[in-house]
Amino acid sequence: MGALFRDPVLLATVLGTNIPFFSMAVILIFTRSNPRLSSRISVGSIVVSAVSAISLLVKLFSAPALQYQTLWFCSGKLNIAFGYYLDPLSLLMLTIVGIVACLVQIYSLGYMAGDPGYSRYYAFQSLFAWAMMNMVIAGSMLQLFIFWEMVGLASYFLIGFYYEKWSASQAGKKAFVMNRVGDVGFFLGLILLLIGFGNLGIPELNHAAVTHGLPKGLVTLSALLIFCGVIGKSAQFPLLTWLPDAMEGPTPVSALLHSATMVAAGVYMFSRIFPFFSASPEAMQVALAIGTVTMLLSSTMAMVTYDLKQVWAYSTVSQLGYMVMALSAGGYFAGVFHLTTHAGFKALLFLCSGIFIHEFHTNDMRIIGKKGGRRLKIPMVCMTIGALALSGVPPFSGFFSKEAILTVLAAQPSKIWYAAGLFGAVLTAYYSFRLIFHILFPKDGIEEQHHHAEHGPDAHEHEEEHHGFAFRAMAIPVMFLAGVSVVLGFTEHGLEHFLMRLVPRAGEVSAHARSAAAVHGAVNATAAAAAHAQEPSGSLLMVLGISAGLLGITLAWFEYGRKGASRKGFLSHFPAVWKLFDLRWFLDILYRKGLDTFVYAGLTSLFVKNDRRIIDGGIDGICVFTEGSGRVFSFLQSGMLQFNLVLMVLVAGAAVLYFVI
Amino acid sequence: MTDFMLFLPELFFILGALLFFIFSLRKSPNPAGFHRWAVVLSAVGLLITVASSHQEGMLFFNCYRVDLFSQIFKVLLALGTVWVMFSSSELKGIDSRQHAEYYFLIFVCTLAMMMLVSSVELLTIYVSMELSSYSLYLLVPMRRGEDRYFESGVKYFMIGVTSSGFMIFGISLLFGVGHTTYVPQLIKALPAVIHQPAAIVGLVLTLAGFFFKLALFPFHIWAPDVYQGASNQVTTYIATVSKMAAAAMIIRFAGLSGGASPGLVKLLIVLSIASMTFGNLVALIQKDLKRLLAYSSIAHAGYILIGILTLNSQGFASAIYYAAAYLVMNYSVFMVIMKVADDGHNLQIKELAGLYKRSPLLAMTFMLGLFGLAGIPPTAGFTGKFLVFAAAVHKGYLFLAIIGMVNATISLYYYLIVFKAAYLLKPVKEYPAIAVDMWTRVMSIVLVVMTIYLGLFPDQVVSLTEAAARTLF
Amino acid sequence: MNSLSTYLIISALLFSLGLLGILQRRNLIGMLISVELLLNAANLNFMAYNRFLVSDPVTGQVITLFVMGLAAAEAAIGLSIILALYRKMHSINIEAAQKMKG
Amino acid sequence: MTAMNMAGFPILTTILMTTIIGLLVIIFIPPEKTKLIKQVSLVSASLGLALCLWLYHAYDFHKGGLQFVERVLWVKSLGIYWFNGVDGINLPMMLLTSVVLFTGVWTMWELEHRVKEFYALIFLLVAGVYGVFMSMDLFWIFVWYDVSLFPMYPLIAIWGGTRKEYGAMKLTLYLLAGSAFILPAILFLWAKGGGHTFDLFMLQKIGFSVFDQKVAFLMLYLGFGILAAVWPFHTWSPVGHVAAPTAVSMIHAGVLMKLGAYGVLRIGMTLCPQGAVYWSHLMALLGTIGIIYGALAGLAQTDLKYVIGYSSVSHMGIVGLGLATLSVNGINGAVFQMFAHGIMTALFFSAVGFIYDRTHTKVIPELGGLSKTMPIASSFFIFAALAGIGVPLMASFWAEFLVLTAAVKVFPVAGILATSGMILSALFMLRVVQRTFYGEKNPKWEHIPDVSMFLTVPRVVLMSCILFFGLFPKVMLDVIQSTVIPFVTRF
Amino acid sequence: MDTSGLNFILQAAFWVTVALTIAGASIAVFPRNILYNVLGLALALTGIAGFYLYLGSLFVAMMQLLIYVGAICIAIVFAIMLSRPLHIEVPPRPARKVWMGILASVVFFIGAVGVALKTKWQVAAGHVYEASKWSVQSIGDALLTRYELVFEVISLVLLVAIIGAVITAGFSRRLSS
């Protein structure tokens, strides 16, 4: 306890990360019935968290990695530590989480105003903030896993926030269960490491992996298993379908959890033990493939949907795919950087969409466009900025991070990854601007009359509402994020320096990497290739990258933007492909079918039948048999005396015979 | 004079019998007065028996041995008699003009059984046995009213005399191989010749007579009919007191083989398993409470036999303990039956419905009695089963313990059905509350305390039974 | 002729005949008669052992006497029960008495 | 007060006596005075709780081993001792019992039907449970074991719900059929040990032959396994729970089921280590089947209590698997899981009980949207469901973690299968939560009041237990492993 | 020798007794007319009394005749007369019961004969059969010494039997009055 107060860093860490927990508890237990107070408590605590996160970042900007550790419990030879690990990566992520969470909570003040579950909403938001921040600074993989699960729990509650809607609760359940599938792999990986290595501390693990402290097979197997966690949490193929469904939650939740932070946790975890993963090229290769597939699949899905949030959801999945690609191609910084910028612009995109949705009570981009979405200037501009950043158009943040990723991919021996990346960039730009153009240039113009007729009587009130407190609460975070998206890209070098300073990684060229690269043959190859490939063709790559983005935008303009465009998209000529994309490559149907036939109709009903018929039936049968034999034996006791006596005499006679013979 | 003291309990019971013989000659019967006399006399008899429980000695030219074994059983017999007398206040099942004879026969029967447990000479044993049987033969058909129960009397008699025929035939064989009628001499002589068919057959056939008394399969056939057909008090007497004597005698005679005959043990094992299984299975389908208890008694005979067939002092001690516990529990159940059926009719299980409301105390006594019979701790019945099985397992008969426990589980089913009737079912028609007088309350509490005390604090009783069992060797 | 086993076999035969009577006679008095055969078989055994095996020649005879006495008492009781049954059921057929079962 | 001061004081017997005296006092209160009966019950239950908490606090886990020993010769000729003591294995169980009793008594505060008998029987039952946990003598363990079982019959049959008489009969017979194997096994061990002591530790010193150990262990495993709802002897669990009233379900699933696993551990594995080694594959197999089977069979259930019953099957499978590993972590986890599951399932039943009391239905399709009308009651259930899923920072997570860690090491296939059971349990629990509490507000339940402040107390106590031991598992694991570490050296 | 002739007569008489006894027993068991049964019983009992003579005990033989043939048979005859009219024809016995009875008795008979033949009967150490070794007086001695208790008890048995017979058969003076 004393140490806590003597060490301001520790104090800030503990306080900053845990205060949301207390706010959640207070809200749930005491202030449920007072929404205003609840929201203030929650926002207040998240502000404290954000401030302490930023101050930690500033204070430890050039400090060495800090590790706090205490024994949580021990069981036999198993010592489980509880601790914090503050290094540049976790500080960066902590800051991102703090700021985005803070912005989203402020935004929610407006967005969620008047909702009956207002208090509950803030309680779960606090829960999420607490869990996420604790996950970020976790000192060991087990601790990370624990808060990883808690984050999932918060996500479950927030997705199912509108629980009276069946689809919402269904989506929450789906998210949780699909995450669980990945987590089981993660968990098994951890157990394997625990058995094989005996320590789950993040620095220890990384160190051991780099210095060959672990057997190769163990690393590969456990890395693959742990990567399952990434697949689940970051919605990678084949567990990607929960994320679009998760859009059932309130939009700020989608912004915070399902784009900016929580789903990035998978990527974060990947980068957290990046050296460990790097020690297994096989696992990295698998991850690269999965990232690529995810990225492409989800981009195609985004091309056909008309639901605003779905587009961004698919886009999130595909961007996460990018990050995984970057990391698994050895681009540690590229991945983390993209994570950072993505957090900014994707939160921005979602929050902007949220304003539209809040205004027009629909998710359909065509209706929003028709009803005059473009007249909401602030969100429209901000969303366009976000879309430009997403499409990788300079000078927005996305451009820099995407370039970094493409550079890394280009350094891969096989060019197919780079090609896929480029292709993905085209698709990204296409679907983003498809959406923007749908709103900006609706097909049949804006239905002014209709809009007014509908809202006629209370139009004034309506306006009031949207330009009052609520609108401001929503607009300010949006504008802030838009600003961030504009400038964040230029911090690339500063961030790189900050991040790379301490990492014993095997990726980019840096003084620190040398030792790691020297000892690590397999990773060395990637690293060296990356180092060599980057320099000569840098400008070419940049041109290619920009043009991919522009190509996509142009295509979108051609189909949706320009006057007289069909606004149908070229895919409508291929209904089969459209259907394929629209139904998420049949993944959901496959899962549903699998679950229905294999689990419900198969095992479950088999087991239930087994219980009823065989086990219970058997036991009841024994009972019936027992009673029946009672009835049968009771015939021995017939009323006729002499039959009974015959029995008696026979037994006596038999006994006599037995002894005689 | 010391001889006189040794024989005091028996003398006292003879006195009681004579008194009621005189009463029976009186012109005007006075049932209430008879009942008071009977209770007082039997209570004094119990006191005397208890007081003389540590006597030891031989009487009547060594035909009669007073030792711890016999005295324990005499105490049990006297105790059971007191209880039956106590419950005879509701003696509606017997014509009030015959009450004096009823008490007379009960006293004679108890006396006969007391002599039975003390006798160590074959003829004395046989005659005492017959005396007690005859009293019971006469008590059973005393049931007034319903003619359909009368057949039980004749069945009891016919089966009884047949068994007694087997027994005397067996005794004759024992006499032939042992050349003596003294049990102590037989104990010495028999193990040497036990491989001779005559010896073992004689023993088995002699035991058959006692098996009949204990209602052991296949000599059980009288039990259901007699339990059902006799008046409640007589049933109680047969179910409790007469079982004690039978158990004692089986212990005495099983010991005669000296453990030298594996065949005998096998036979006893088979009989005990058959008895437990048959009793429990058939009890499952009974509707009449007394008939159900009859089958349950058949099963319990099997349990007692498990203790006996180990043929060592530990087993005998456990059997004695079991018998004592059985007396207490069975009487608890029967006392409640007699109170509930205070007009002397045969209680059906469903008539117990709502008992917990009509008299919580009786219901509790009843419950403990049932659970005791089912062998659920912390009742005496459990400890009895535990001891019996312990003896069997110690001797190596693990399977016997398993079969016994499985049987106990089966038996639990019907005990629970009875329990359910008493505690759960709503009565079909409104029964009046049961008048429970002070004495009955006291008796209930005594029974409850005894059941639990014997179950939880068996140490003293167990050492007593072990000391008693040792006197047999 | 005058050997132990002759008597024993005769007694076994008597006993078995008695059993047979008990097992298949329906007349209760007939059954009672058969019971008397059982007792007599046992008595014959006693007397035979007394004659051929046992050192004390009195015991067997005394037992036989007592068994006779008991048989008399038994017959008295049995007959009275049978008569009582006859008064209630107007039959001394054992097959009339099979209402209680199960 | 320290343990030293209390050295001679029979604290364990005192704990037992709180229930027995409570029982006796209740017997002598007239049945109309229901309020007084409830107060007496609560007082004696909280007395037990306080004593158990003190005991837990006073137990010196650095020293480990058996403490607070009371040993009196009870039946000389057989070698039965009144021998009580606590160590790291039964101490958590004692605590669990007291917590569940306390909350169970409180939960049933609104009972109006035959109050006196209900509380009397509850105390009898719990006396048995305490007795089993504290006894170190085979005779007493069995006595108390049976004492704790048979009150289930009246408790279910009188105060129960769906098909109560059938359920009560089935459960009672089923469980007591288990004791048909236990008693012979105990006697067998006693006889093989020379027949002069039932003292667990004296018997432990006698080396039984491997064959005897195998036989005895199998019998004990079967007998106790029935109570621990080991597959395929689990079907009483759903049926019985459905029929039982709230507090009984709480105590039964929360505490009584633990007796089974505890018996295997305390008697079977202590006296027959070689037998345990021999049968460990069977135990692991059945445990794993239980985990997966319970979750899958639970998926199709439409009755809330059936669902919980099956979840218990699944969770007790984890205990079984943990025991089967015969390793420190496995047994630590198993004991911890017993505790965690006890608390969790008590919370489950207490939440369901409340819902059932108000809506008079447990059928999931008839419920639905309860969160709207009964947010507090729903949140209790949801909390329990989360604990059941194994969400971290709740006690059961640690237990599962330890068990699975051990299982993957010792029985890799079983361990991996069991771990995947986590998916099923999530699917299964969330499905129930969704169907019961989420969805449109159900007009049928619109006017039902939520849990009153007074009745939230026991549930909050249970919730805080789950959280406390989830956050500070050390508090429990230190105690548990002080005994388990020396324990596993014998395998 | 004269004795051989006597022996022969004795032997012949013995076998005649055997035949009479068995015939009597059969008559006691098989015929459906109850009066024949009683007469058969009397015959068999007389035969058994003859065996007692062969076994050296005139006293017991006399007793047999007195108690059994005299008392018991008469009692049975009275009972018969009190119970049912003799002329009522009884239906034939069910075959199943007969066969089962025969089976059971035959099993027992084989067993009992086996016992008689397979046992190696040992003669007691002091056994010397002499008619002079005992007398009625020694029987009386035995009755008043070792069998004193039995002797007393048997009187009680008879008392019980009498009272029992009176109350059960319903000839109680109270009932009749």
Q: Is C19 near chain A, with CB under 8 Å? A: yes
| Cβ-defined contact of B158 to A637 (cutoff 8 Å) | no
DSSP run (H or E) holding E91:
none
Q: Tell whether E105 lies on the interface with A, counting CB pairs under 8 A.
A: yes
Main-chain dihedrals φ then ψ at residue A211, nearest 5 degrees = -95, 25
On the 0-12 / 13-18 / 19+ scale of CB atoms within 10 A, A361 is exposed
What pLDDT is stored for residue C45 in this prediction? 92
| Residue position matching structure tokens 């320009």 | A562
Residue A319 pLDDT > 80: yes
Amino acid at B39: V
Of A652, A657, A659, the CB nearest to E110: A657
CB A612 within 8 A of CB D234: no
Q: Which residues of B touch D74 (CB under 8 A)?
A: 457, 459
D and E touch with 3+ CB pairs <8 Å, answer no
pLDDT of residue D319: 93
Whether residue C87 lies inside any domain: the answer is yes
Residue C102 resides in a domain: no
Distance to chain B for E121, nearest Cα, Å? 7
Whether chain C lies against chain A with 3 or more Cβ pairs closer than 8 A is yes
DSSP H helices, chain C, are 4-24, 28-52, 59-89
Residue D240 scores a pLDDT above 50: yes
What would the pLDDT profile of A6-56 be if each residue is shown by its tens digit? 788 888 888 888 899 999 999 988 888 888 888 889 999 999 999 999 998
- Partners of B459 on chain D (C-beta within 8 Å) are 74-76
Chain D positions touching A75 (Cβ under 8 A) are 328-329, 332-333, 402, 477, 481
Instruction: Give dist(CA A15, CA D156) in Å, integer.
Output: 50
Tell which A residues from 551 to 610 touch D, by Cβ distance under 8 Å: 599-600, 603-605, 607-608, 610
The sign of the torsion formed by the CA atoms of D263, D267, D269, D275 equals negative
Q: Do E80 and C10 touch (CB under 8 A)?
A: no
Contact between C94 and A634 using a beta-carbon 8 Å cutoff: no
Residue D462, pLDDT > 90, answer: yes
**CB B416 to CB D153 under 8 A?**
yes
Nearest chain E residue to A657, by CA: E111
The pLDDT score that the predictor gives to residue A537 is 61
User: Is A638's CB within 8 Å of C98's CB?
Assistant: yes
- Mean pLDDT, to the nearest integer, of D353-373? 83
Determine D/C contact with 3+ CB pairs under 8 A as the test.
Answer: no
Chain E residue whose CA is closest to B24: E163
Nearby residues of E132 by Cβ (< 8 Å), 6 or more positions away:
none
Whether C96 contacts chain A with CB within 8 A: no
Q: Please state, in angstroms and rounded to a whole number, the distance separating the CA atoms of residues A412 and B390.
A: 78
Chain D and chain B touch, per 3+ beta carbon pairs within 8 A: yes
Which backbone phi and psi does E119 adopt, to 5 degrees? -75, 135
Q: With contacts defined as CB-CB under 8 Å, which chain B residues touch D191?
A: 390, 393-394, 396
Cα R_g (chain D), whole angstroms: 21
> Cβ contacts of residue C70 below 8 Å, gap of 6+?
B126, B127, B130, C39, E154, E157
- Report d(CA C37, CA C18) in Å as an integer: 5
Strands A66-75 and D80-86: unpaired
Per-position DSSP letters for D413-426, written without gaps between them: HHHHHHHHHHHHHH
Residue A645 counted as domain residue: yes
Residue carrying the six token digits 């189909």: A559
pLDDT tens figures, A175-198: 999 999 999 999 999 999 888 888
- Range of the structural domain that residue C81 is part of: 4-96
**Quick one: A416 exposed, middle or buried, by C-beta within 10 A (0-12, 13-18, 19+)?**
exposed
Whether C102 and B141 lie within 8 Å, measured CB to CB: no
For residue D82, list its beta bridge partners: D72
Question: Which residue on chain A is closest to C26 by alpha carbon?
Answer: A642
The 3-class SS string of A289-328 reads: HHHHHHHHHHHHHHCCCCEHHHHHHHHHHHHHHHHHHHHH
Which residues of chain B does C97 touch, with a Cβ-Cβ cutoff of 8 Å? 150-151, 154-155
Are B64 and E159 a contacting pair at CB < 8 A?
A: no
CA C9, C11, C12, C16 torsion-angle sign: positive
Burial class (CB in 10 A: 0-12, 13-18, 19+), A375: exposed
Q: In terms of CA atoms, which chain E residue is nearest residue A641? A: E97
Give, for D452, the enclosing helix (H) or strand (E).
none
> pLDDT tens-digit profile of B186-207?
888 888 888 888 899 999 999 9
Residue A531 has pLDDT above 70, yes or no: no
First to last CA, chain A: 89
CATH number at residue C26: 1.10.287.3510
Contact criterion met (CB < 8 Å) for E104 and A643: no
Whether complex ipTM tops 0.90: no
Question: Angle at the Cα of A391 (from A388 to A392), degrees rounded to 5?
Answer: 90
pLDDT at E142: 86
Give the span between the Cα atoms of B333 and A317, in whole angstroms: 76
How far apart CA A387 and CA A389 sit, in angstroms, is: 5
Helix, strand or coil for residue D261? helix
Query: What is the pLDDT, as a whole number, of residue A518?
Result: 34
Nearest to B377 among D76, D77, D146 (CB): D146
Q: Which candidate from E97, E108, E118 shows the least CB-CB separation from A653?
A: E108
User: What residues have CB less than 8 Å from C37, skipping those under 6 apart?
Assistant: C14, C15, C17, C18, C21, E25, E28, E29, E41, E44
C33 in a domain, yes or no? yes
Looking at residue D137, the DSSP 8-state letter turns out to be: B
State whether the Cα torsion B357-B358-B364-B368 is positive or negative: negative
Does residue A75 sit at the D interface (CB-CB below 8 Å)?
Answer: yes
Report residue B290 as tokens. 């007394």
d(CA B238, CA B242): 5
pLDDT of residue A445: 67
Q: What does the alpha-carbon distance between residue E28 and residue E45 come to, in Å, rounded to a whole number?
A: 10
CB pairs under 8 A between A and E: 40
How much is the average pLDDT of D74-87? 90
Confidence of residue E2 (pLDDT cuts 50, 70, 90): low
- CA pair distance A319, A312, nearest whole angstrom: 10
Q: What is the mean pLDDT of residues E83-90?
A: 63
Q: At what angle do helices B31-51 and B68-87 cross, to 10 degrees?
A: 160
Alpha-carbon distance E122 to B195, whole Å? 13
Q: How far apart are CA A72 and CA A62, in angstroms?
A: 30
Domain total in chain C: 1
Q: How many CA atoms lie within 13 A of B433 on its CB side?
A: 7
Q: Which residue range(s) make up the domain with B177?
A: 2-470
* DSSP bridge pairs for B86: none
Three-class SS of residue A82? strand
What is the pLDDT averaged over residues A598-618? Answer: 86
A652-656, B102-106, B339-343: least confidently modelled range: B339-343
As a whole number of angstroms, the distance between CA A616 and CA D297 comes to: 13
Chains with 3+ CB–CB pairs under 8 A to B are A, C, D, E
Q: Which residues of B touch E174 (CB under 8 A)?
A: 27, 29, 97
Q: Is 90 exceeded by the pLDDT of residue D132?
A: yes
Give yes or no: residues A612 and A565 share one domain: no
> Does some domain include residue A46?
yes
Q: What's the DSSP call for residue C94?
A: G
Q: Do A75 and D402 touch (CB under 8 A)?
A: yes
Q: What pLDDT shows up at residue E90? A: 66
Query: Any chain B CB within 8 A of the CB of E160?
Result: yes
DSSP 3-state of A239: coil
Per-residue burial over A530-567, b if 16 or more Cβ lie within 10 Å, else e, is bbebbeeeeeebeebbbebbbbbbbbbbebbbeeebeb
CA–CA dist D179, D267 (Å, integer): 13
C66 CB neighbours in chain E (<8 A) are 147, 150, 154
B342 interfacial to chain C (CB closer than 8 Å) = no
Size of interface A-D (CB pairs under 8 A): 134
- Calculate how close chain B gets to C45, using CA atoms only, in Å: 6
Q: Name residue A388's beta-bridge partners.
A: none
Residue A519 reports pLDDT greater than 60:
no
Counting every residue, how long is chain E? 177
Nearest neighbour of C99 by CB, restricted to A637, A639, A645 = A639
Instruction: Give the closest of B378, B382, B459 to D76, CB-based.
Output: B459
The pLDDT score that the predictor gives to residue A511 is: 36
Show residues of chain D in contact with B424, CB under 8 Å. 154, 157-158, 165
| Count of domains observed in chain A | 2
Cβ separation of A656 and E104 shorter than 8 Å? no
- Taking phi first (over 0 means left), then psi (-120 to 50 degrees means alpha), and beta for anything else, what does residue D60 get? beta
pLDDT confidence of D43, banded at 50, 70, 90? very high
In the predicted model, what is the mean pLDDT of chain D? Answer: 89
Q: CB under 8 Å to B332, separation ≥6 — which residues? A: B365, B366, B368, B369, B372, B447, B448, B451
Q: Where are the alpha helices (DSSP H) in A160-215?
A: 166-196, 202-210
Domain that holds residue A614: 608-660
Contacts 24+ apart (CB under 8 A), B466-471: B466/B313, B466/B314, B466/B317, B466/D77, B467/B68, B468/B67, B468/B68, B468/B69, B468/B72, B468/B317, B468/B320, B469/B69, B469/B251, B469/B313, B469/B314, B469/B316, B469/B317, B469/B320, B470/B313, B471/B67, B471/B68, B471/B69
Q: How many domains does chain B have?
A: 1
Report the gap between the CA of C99 and the closest CA in chain A (Å): 6
The residue among D474, D479, D482, D484 with the most chain A CBs within 10 A of its CB, best to mutate, is: D474
3-state secondary structure of D440: coil
Q: A69: helix, coil or strand?
A: strand
CA torsion angle E136 E142 E147 E148 (round to 10): 90
Q: Are B340 and B89 in contact (CB under 8 A)?
A: no
**C20 to chain B nearest CA, in Å?**
11
Structure-block tokens of residue A231: 């697949």
Chain E residues whose beta carbon lies within 8 Å of the beta carbon of residue C81: 168-169
Does chain E touch chain A (at least 3 C-beta pairs within 8 Å)?
A: yes
Q: Is the pLDDT of residue D334 over 60?
A: yes
Is residue A613 a part of any domain in this protein? yes
Amino acid occupying residue D289: I
pLDDT digits (tens, 9 = 90+) for D2-41: 444 455 788 899 999 999 999 999 988 988 888 999 999 9
Mark whether A539 and A639 lie in a shared domain: no
Q: Are A405 and A506 in contact (CB under 8 A)?
A: no
